[in-house]
């Protein structure tokens, strides 16, 4: 599994690319990067949920990857965004699209790190197509490289000031 920092950073980097080069800063406010970064980590909420259930029941449980790592939630957030858009709430729609994007970005990251997840819950539970690259051995280095590359990109293109 990718570290939490990687999940947040990759979501922010991808969304920031779209903010700078596709949509523009006015149409894609900076706070949405924070929302997308948090959404990039959100599928791992099943980990503390498992800890709580284990604590209260006294039985060790592991929910990681059972249901929150599903494309179902991505589709759900896109659907909510479409409903909000239909209702005329463009800002609300954009918020849910960004949540869906952050959530979706999490899934291939875990897959690239060699984890088997239940991407098609609640329909299919055992379809594994993820490569077994075992990138988790390099997770700390990947975090550091991603952070440095993103900061260098922002500095070279004089965009670091956007965050201050």
Of the two residues 39 and 149, the one the predictor is more confident about is 39
What does the pLDDT look like over 107-149, one tens digit per residue?
888 887 767 677 767 676 666 667 676 777 777 888 888 888 8
Percent of the chain exceeding pLDDT 70 equals 85
Cα dihedral sign for 125, 122, 41, 56? Answer: negative
Could you tell me the pTM of the whole model? Answer: 0.84
Q: How many CB atoms lie within 10 A of CB 93?
A: 19
Could you identify the residue written with the tokens 């939630």?
73
Q: Which domain holds residue 49?
A: 4-163
Distance CA 131, CA 148 (A): 26
Distance CA 88, CA 65 (A): 35
How many domains is the chain built from? 1
Distance CA 148, CA 31 (A): 21
Q: Is the pLDDT of residue 105 over 60?
A: yes
Helix 90-112 to helix 71-86 angle (10° resolution) is 170
Q: Sorting pLDDT into bands at 50, 70 and 90, what band is 82?
A: very high
Q: What pLDDT was estimated at residue 126?
A: 60
């Amino acid at each position: 599994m990718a570290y939490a920092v990687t999940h947040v950073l990759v979501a922010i980097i991808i969304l920031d690319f779209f903010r700078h080069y596709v949509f523009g800063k006015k149409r894609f406010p900076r706070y949405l990067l924070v929302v997308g970064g948090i959404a990039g980590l959100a599928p791992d909420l099943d980990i503390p949920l498992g800890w709580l259930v284990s604590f209260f029941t006294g039985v060790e449980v592991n929910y990681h990857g059972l249901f929150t790592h599903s494309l179902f939630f991505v589709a759900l957030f896109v659907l909510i965004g479409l409903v909000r858009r239909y209702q005329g709430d463009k800002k609300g729609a954009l918020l849910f699209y960004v949540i869906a994007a952050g959530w979706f970005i999490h899934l291939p990251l875990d897959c690239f790190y060699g984890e088997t997840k239940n991407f098609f819950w609640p329909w299919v539970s055992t379809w594994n197509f993820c490569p077994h690259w075992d990138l988790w051995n390099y997770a700390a280095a990947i975090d550091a490289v991603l952070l440095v590359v993103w900061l260098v990109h922002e500095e070279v293109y004089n965009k670091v000031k956007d965050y201050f």
